[in-house]
Structure 1
Amino acid sequence: RTLVIPPFLAELLERHLESHDNELVVPALSGGPLLTTDFHTYDWSPVRGGAEARAGRYAREAMKPVEV
C-alpha cells in the first residue's frame, strides 16, 4: 500500500526505525508483527481511551514512549 504522510512524520518514522533492529514500525514485544485483534483489544483501545497501565493476570511490560 501507499500512504501519503507529511514530511515531519516521515522524519519521525525514519528516526524511530533507526532506533531499533526491526523493519516493523511497531513490532510486538516478541519482535514479530502485531496481531490485529490482540493489538486493538489489549493495546490500542485502552490507550485511546486514556486508560492506566494494565495490572493483574495479563499485565504486560510497559511500552517505551516515542521520544521526539
Structure 2
Amino acid sequence: MNSNHIVIGIFENELSALIAKRDLREAGIKANILREGGGVTLRLLSQAEGVRVLVPESQESMAKEILQARFL
C-alpha cells in the first residue's frame, strides 16, 4: 500500500471494518484494513483504539458516501 491512501473510517471492531471494506469493494473502491501487529494480544490492543479502513485518496468522496449510507 502506498502513501496516497487515507483512513476513511475507524471502527469499534474488526467485524464492522470488514463489513465496510466489503461494501466499499462491491462499489469498486480498493479498500483495505490496517492491522498493526500479528499476534492476538496486539490485535486486541489495536482494536481498543479502533480498526482503520483505508482507501485511495482519489476515491475518498465516493467512499464517504457509501459509508455514511451504511453506518449512519
Report the TM-score, using the length of structure 1 for normalisation: 0.32
Of structures 1 and 2, the larger Rg is shown by 1
Tell me: higher relative CO, structure 1 or 2? Use CA pairs within 8 A at least 6 residues apart: 2
In proportion to residue count, which structure has more helix?
2
TM-score, normalized by length of structure 2? Answer: 0.30
